[in-house]
C-alpha cells in the first residue's frame, strides 16, 4: 500500500505536471508535503496572479498546467483570471484544499462549502472525491478532462485524505493515459476542398487556436498557395500569421458591421481555429455581405454549435490545411516583397508623453526578433499592429476574455515555460494593477521579463467607450499619478522611468539577466 499523496505525486510526475503555481493555506499543506525532486512550486502572492501565470505557462508550452489554491477564498480570488483561461482554452488543473471530512458538515473554518459549485460555470469539470480511496482517480479525471475539453478543471480534496494508505486499485490510475484525435473524414475533406477550390475570392480568417496548434507556418504556406488575403479573427488572444506579411489584412474589427464591411467582395470566408466571432463593441449590421458563404473549421465543438451564421466542421485543423495545400493547384502570386516596410511612428506633438507608436517602434528596433510579447493595454491596439513586426509562432498573448490582470503575471508564466526565449510584457498603467504582485514572483525566481508600463494616467479604452456610448461624463477613468518604479522597487524588480525616446531606447538596450520594469509616459490614444 501507499498513501494517496504519493500516488497523486507519481501520477502528476508521469504527466509532466511537476510545476505547481500556487498560493497555499493550511488545507493545502498535506498535498504539498514530500514533493518529489523535480517538482517546483512557483509562489504567487494573489490567486489571480497565480492562475494568470499558469495560463501563460500552459499556452506557451501547449500542455496542461497545475494550480493549487486555498479553498473557497483562494478559489474565489481566481475566478476573474479563470475567465481568460476559459476563453484561451488553457488546460489548467486547479486543485484546492478542503477541510477534513468530519468538519465539513459543521462548516468549520476553511470549509469550502459546496466546493464543486463554486467555480461553475467557468470550469469544464469540477469534483470532490467521495472518499480518500477515490482521490487519485479523481485527480486523474481532472487532468484528463482539462486536456480533452481544453478547459480548466477543478478538484477539491479534504486534507485528511492525502495520508490515507490505499491499495493497488488506487495505484492503477498512474498507468493511465488518454489521447484525443479528431481526424476529418475523406468526404468532409473533399467537400471543403471543393468549396475552397470553387471560390472566386476566398478570405482566410485565423483564430488563436491556429497558433496554439502550431499551425502558424502552415497558415502562411496555405495563404501563399491560395494567394488569399488573411485576417486575424476579432479580439485575438494570440497571433496566427506574420502581421507585416503582404497578404495580412489586419485584425478583424470586433463588431458585426465592421466584419461585414471587411468581408465584402469575398464569396467565401474560411474561418479556422476561431469562434464566429468574438465581437466586442456593438455595431449592428448583417453578419455577412449578401452572397458571401462562411465555413468554420475548429476543434472546439462549442464554438461550432453557437456560431450565428455559416457551416462548421468540428475537426483538427491541420489535416484540413494539408488537404487544401495538396489538392488545390497553387494560384499565381505577384512577386511583391513578402513583408511590408514599417511606417514611420506617429508622434504626440501636443502631449509631453510619447505616442504609443513610438514605444512600439522602439521595442521593434531594440528587442530580439524572436521576442514573445504579452500585451494588455486596451487603447493602443491600433498603434501596436501598425508598428510591431511579429514573424514567429507564439509571439503574442493577450487576455482571451478581455479580463485585465492576465498580462503582467502571464508574462512570468510564459518566461518560465520558455526560458530560452526573450519575453516582454506591454501593460497599461490601469491593467498593471490587477496582477501587480507577480512582480514579486518575477524577482523571487529571477524571471527575466522586461515589463513595459504605458503610463497615460487613464483607463484610456473606457474614455473611448464613453464617447462611443454617448456617456462622456462618466466617473472612474482617471488613474493619474501612480509611480510604478516605486511599486517595482518595493517588490524587488529594478525599474527606470523613461520620459523621452532616447531614455526609452537606452533602457530597452541596457543589458539585463533578470526582471526589469520600464515605465514610459505616453499620450492617450484611441484603440
Ligand X SMILES: Cc1ncc(Cn2c(C)c(CCOP(=O)(O)OP(=O)(O)O)sc2=O)c(N)n1
Among 152, 403, 409, 515, binds ligand X (CB under 6 A): 403
Residues 390-429 binding Ca ion (CB under 5 A) are 428-429
Nearer to Ca ion, 232 or 522 (CB): 522
**Residue 77 touching ligand X (CB under 6 A):** no
Q: Contacts for 176-180 with beta carbons within 8 Å, 24 or more apart?
A: 176/140, 176/144, 178/144, 178/147, 178/148, 180/147, 180/148
Q: Is 353 left (phi over 0), alpha (psi -120 to 50) or beta?
A: beta
241 burial via Cβ count (<10 Å: 0-12, 13-18, 19+): buried
CB of 273 to ligand X, least distance (A): 24
Residue ranges in 78-137 that form contacts with ligand X under rule CB under 6 A: 80
What part of residues 456-515 is at the interface with Ca ion (CB under 5 A)?
456, 460
Choose among ligand X, Ca ion, none what residue 403 binds, the Cβ cut-off being 5 to 8 Å by kind: ligand X
Binding footprint of ligand X, residue count (CB under 6 A): 20
Instruction: Look up 28 and say whether it is catalytic.
Output: yes
Closest separation in Å from C-beta 80 to ligand X: 5
Name the grid cell of 305. 454549435
Q: Point out which span in 8-16, 64-72, 402-410, 506-514 binds ligand X (CB under 6 A).
A: 402-410
Q: CB nearer to ligand X: give 220 or 383.
A: 383
Nearer to ligand X, 224 or 429 (CB): 429
Smallest distance from ligand X to CB 360, Å? 12
| 527 is a site residue for Ca ion (CB under 5 A) | no
C-alpha cell, 154: 477543478
How far apart, in whole angstroms, are the C-alpha atoms of residue 373 and residue 370?
9
Q: Which positions ≥6 away from 141 have C-beta within 8 Å?
A: 125, 127, 153
Determine, following the binding rule CB under 6 A, whether residue 409 of this chain makes contact with ligand X: no
380 binds, among Ca ion, ligand X, none (CB under 5 to 8 A by kind): ligand X
Q: Which helix (H) or strand (E) holds 209?
A: helix 208-212
**Catalytic position from the list 70, 237, 266, 355:** 70
As a dihedral over the C-alpha atoms of residue 101, residue 103, residue 107, residue 110, rounded to 10 degrees, the angle is -80
From the list 207-215, 218-226, 254-262, 453-461, the region that binds ligand X by CB under 6 A is 453-461
Contact with ligand X (CB under 6 A): which of 22, 345, 393, 402?
Answer: 402
Nearest CA to 430 out of 473, 389, 465, 378 is that of 378
| CB-closest chain residue to Ca ion | 428
Residue burial 438-450, b: 16+ Cβ < 10 Å; e: rest: bbbbbbeeebebb
Question: Would you call 181 a catalytic residue per the annotation?
Answer: no
**By the rule CB under 5 A, 353 interacts with Ca ion:** no
CA-closest candidate to residue 504, choices 320, 310, 364: 364
Active-site position among 280, 322, 333, 370:
280
Active-site residue identified among 74, 124, 353, 402 = 402
Cell 518566461 -> residue: 415
**Whether residue 26 lies in the annotated active site:** yes
Active-site residue, selected from the candidate residues 9, 15, 25, 127: 25
Region class of 407: left (phi > 0), else alpha (psi between -120 and 50), else beta? alpha
Q: What is the DSSP letter of 152?
A: -
Q: Residue 232 touches which of ligand X, Ca ion, none (CB < 5 to 8 A by kind)?
A: none
Catalytic positions are: 25-26, 28, 47, 70, 280, 402
Query: What is the binding site for ligand X (CB under 6 A)?
Result: 80, 377-380, 402-405, 428-431, 434, 456, 458-462
Amino acid at each position: 500500500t501507499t498513501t494517496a499523496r504519493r500516488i497523486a505525486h507519481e501520477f502528476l510526475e508521469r504527466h509532466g505536471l511537476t510545476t505547481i503555481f500556487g498560493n497555499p493555506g493550511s488545507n493545502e499543506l498535506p498535498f504539498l508535503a514530500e514533493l518529489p525532486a523535480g517538482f517546483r512550486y512557483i509562489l504567487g502572492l494573489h490567486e489571480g496572479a497565480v492562475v494568470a501565470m499558469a495560463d501563460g505557462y500552459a499556452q506557451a508550452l501547449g500542455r496542461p498546467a497545475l494550480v493549487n489554491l486555498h479553498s473557497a477564498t483562494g478559489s474565489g480570488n481566481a475566478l476573474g483570471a479563470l475567465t481568460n483561461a476559459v476563453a484561451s482554452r488553457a488546460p489548467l488543473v486547479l486543485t484546492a484544499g478542503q477541510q477534513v471530512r468530519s468538519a465539513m458538515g459543521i462548516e468549520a473554518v476553511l470549509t469550502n462549502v459546496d466546493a464543486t459549485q463554486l467555480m461553475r460555470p467557468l470550469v469544464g469539470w469540477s469534483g470532490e472525491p467521495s472518499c480518500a480511496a477515490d482521490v487519485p482517480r479523481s485527480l486523474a479525471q481532472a487532468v484528463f478532462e482539462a486536456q480533452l475539453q481544453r478547459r480548466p478543471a477543478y478538484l477539491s480534496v479534504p486534507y485528511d485524505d492525502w495520508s490515507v494508505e490505499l491499495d493497488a486499485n488506487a495505484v492503477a490510475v498512474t498507468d493511465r493515459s488518454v489521447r484525443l484525435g479528431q481526424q476529418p473524414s475523406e468526404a468532409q475533406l473533399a467537400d471543403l476542398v471543393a468549396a475552397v477550390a470553387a471560390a472566386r475570392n476566398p478570405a482566410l480568417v485565423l483564430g488563436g487556436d491556429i497558433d496554439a496548434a502550431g499551425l502558424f507556418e502552415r497558415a502562411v504556406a496555405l495563404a501563399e498557395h491560395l494567394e488569399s488575403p488573411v485576417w486575424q479573427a476579432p479580439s485575438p488572444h494570440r497571433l496566427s500569421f506574420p502581421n507585416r506579411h503582404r497578404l495580412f489584412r489586419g485584425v478583424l474589427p470586433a463588431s458585426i458591421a465592421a466584419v461585414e464591411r471587411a468581408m465584402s467582395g469575398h464569396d467565401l470566408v474560411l474561418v479556422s481555429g476561431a469562434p464566429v466571432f468574438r465581437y466586442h463593441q456593438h455595431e449592428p449590421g448583417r453578419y455577412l455581405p449578401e452572397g458571401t458563404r462562411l465555413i468554420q473549421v475548429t476543434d472546439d465543438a462549442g464554438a461550432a454549435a453557437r456560431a450565428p451564421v455559416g457551416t462548421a466542421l468540428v475537426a483538427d485543423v491541420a489535416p484540413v490545411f494539408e488537404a487544401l495545400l495538396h489538392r488545390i493547384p497553387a494560384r499565381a502570386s505577384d512577386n511583391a516583397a513578402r513583408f511590408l516596410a514599417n511606417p514611420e511612428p506617429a508622434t504626440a506633438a501636443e502631449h509631453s508623453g510619447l505616442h504609443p507608436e513610438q514605444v512600439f517602434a522602439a521595442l521593434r528596433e531594440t528587442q530580439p526578433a524572436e521576442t514573445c510579447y504579452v500585451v494588455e493595454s486596451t487603447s493602443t491596439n491600433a498603434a501596436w499592429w501598425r508598428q510591431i513586426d511579429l514573424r514567429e509562432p507564439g509571439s503574442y498573448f493577450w487576455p482571451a476574455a478581455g479580463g485585465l490582470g492576465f498580462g503582467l503575471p502571464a508574462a512570468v508564466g510564459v518566461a518560465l515555460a520558455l526560458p530560452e526565449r526573450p519575453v516582454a510584457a506591454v501593460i497599461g498603467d490601469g491593467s498593471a494593477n490587477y496582477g501587480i504582485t507577480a512582480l514579486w514572483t518575477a524577482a523571487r525566481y529571477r524571471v527575466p521579463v522586461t515589463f513595459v508600463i504605458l503610463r497615460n494616467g487613464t483607463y484610456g479604452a473606457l474614455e473611448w467607450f464613453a464617447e462611443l456610448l454617448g456617456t462622456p461624463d462618466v466617473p472612474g477613468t482617471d488613474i493619474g499619478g501612480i509611480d510604478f518604479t516605486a511599486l517595482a522597487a518595493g517588490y524587488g524588480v529594478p525599474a527606470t522611468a523613461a520620459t523621452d525616446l532616447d531614455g526609452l531606447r537606452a533602457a530597452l538596450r541596457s543589458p539585463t539577466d533578470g526582471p526589469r520594469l520600464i515605465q514610459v509616459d505616453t499620450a492617450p490614444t484611441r484603440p
